[in-house]
């Protein structure tokens, strides 16, 4: 069940990143309300992970790796390039999540 909350939180984070990227290109008026709201909802989902498993270090690292993957994916979708060493870092982050949650 905890992974459902992690995924929902990461989806909200990714939505916030996507909206931020779009807002930076074309400042739409709802951005000032919609972007923080999206991040806030994601935070509420993340807090549910703390209620299920009160392990701040593990939960935070899992969330941060999911957020990094989401951010990189959105950047790539917009044509940004990711250097090789950054790809290696993301892969190592995924390995870290696996080791932390086993």
Q: 21: Cβ–Cβ under 8 A, 6 or more apart, which residues?
A: 74, 75, 78
For helices 2-25 and 56-77, what crossing angle results, to 10°?
Answer: 40
Q: What is the pLDDT of residue 34?
A: 94
Confidence bin at 32 (pLDDT 50/70/90): confident
Q: What is the pLDDT of residue 26?
A: 87
Q: What is the pLDDT of residue 37?
A: 97
Q: Containing domain of residue 71, as a range?
A: 2-101
Confidence bin at 8 (pLDDT 50/70/90): very high
- Give residue-wise pLDDT tens across range 53-78: 998 888 888 888 888 888 888 988 98
Percent of the chain with pLDDT over 70: 100
Q: What is the pLDDT of residue 5?
A: 94
Q: What is the pLDDT of residue 71?
A: 87
> In the block, which residue shows the tokens 């990711």?
82
> Exposure string (b/e) for 60-85, b if CB count within 10 Å is 16 or more?
ebbbebbbbbbbbebeeeeeeeeeee
Q: Provide the number of structural domains found in the chain.
A: 1
């Amino acid at each position: 069940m905890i992974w459902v909350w992690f995924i929902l939180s990461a989806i909200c984070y990714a939505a916030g990143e996507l909206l931020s990227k779009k807002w930076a290109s074309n400042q739409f008026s709802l951005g000032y309300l919609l972007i923080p709201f999206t991040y806030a909802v994601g935070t509420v989902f993340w807090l549910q992970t703390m209620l299920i498993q009160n392990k701040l270090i593990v939960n935070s690292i899992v969330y941060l790796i999911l957020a990094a993957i989401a951010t990189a994916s959105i950047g790539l979708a917009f044509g940004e390039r990711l250097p090789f060493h950054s790809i290696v870092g993301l892969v190592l982050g995924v390995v870290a999540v696996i080791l932390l949650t086993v």
